[in-house]
Amino acid sequence: MILAEFDYVRPVGLEEALTLLSGTRGSRVLAGGQSLLPGLRTGEDTARLLVDVRHLEELRGIDRTADGIRIGALTTLAELADHPVVLAEAPEVAAAARANGDPQVRNLGTAGGNLAAAGRATDLPVAAIAADAEVELAGPGGRWTVPAEEFAVSGAPAAAVVTALLVPAAGRAAAFEKTADRATRYPVCATAVRITPGGPRIAVTGATAHPLRLRGVEERLRGGPYTTEAVLAAFRAEPRELFVPGRGTSAEYLGHLAGVLAARALQRADQALA
Residue with smaller CB distance to another protein, 50 or 127: 50
Residue 194 · residue 200 · CB < 8 Å: yes
If one asks whether residue 5 binds another protein (CB under 8 A), the answer comes out as yes
Residue with smaller CB distance to another protein, 54 or 60: 54
Residue with smaller CB distance to another protein, 37 or 87: 37
Is the omega angle on the peptide bond into residue 225 within 30 degrees of 0, that is, cis?
yes
If one asks whether residue 172 binds another protein (CB under 8 A), the answer comes out as no
Residue-by-residue DSSP string for 26-87: TEEEESS-TTHHHHHHHTSS--SEEEE-TT-GGG--EEE-SSEEEEETT-BHHHHHH-HHHH
If one asks whether residue 108 binds another protein (CB under 8 A), the answer comes out as yes
Residue with smaller CB distance to another protein, 54 or 70: 54
If one asks whether residue 57 binds another protein (CB under 8 A), the answer comes out as no
Residue with smaller CB distance to another protein, 154 or 184: 184
If one asks whether residue 247 binds another protein (CB under 8 A), the answer comes out as no
If one asks whether residue 45 binds another protein (CB under 8 A), the answer comes out as no
**Cβ count near 196 (within 10 Å):** 13
If one asks whether residue 30 binds another protein (CB under 8 A), the answer comes out as yes
**Angle between the N-to-C axes of helices 228-236 and 251-273, in degrees from 0 to 180, rounded to the nearest 10:** 140
If one asks whether residue 11 binds another protein (CB under 8 A), the answer comes out as no
Task: Name, in order, each residue with C-beta under 8 angstroms of 233's C-beta and a sequence gap of 6 or more.
Answer: 220
Residue with smaller CB distance to another protein, 177 or 218: 177
Eight-state DSSP code of residue 246: B
Distances in Å between the Cα of 193 and the Cα atoms of 52, 99, 157, 217, 243 are 34, 15, 28, 11, 18
If one asks whether residue 60 binds another protein (CB under 8 A), the answer comes out as no
If one asks whether residue 44 binds another protein (CB under 8 A), the answer comes out as no
The residue from 25, 66, 84, 102 that contacts another protein (CB under 8 A) is: 102
**Contact positions toward another protein, by CB under 8 A?**
1-8, 10, 30, 33-34, 37-38, 40-42, 50, 52, 54-55, 78, 101-105, 107-108, 183-185
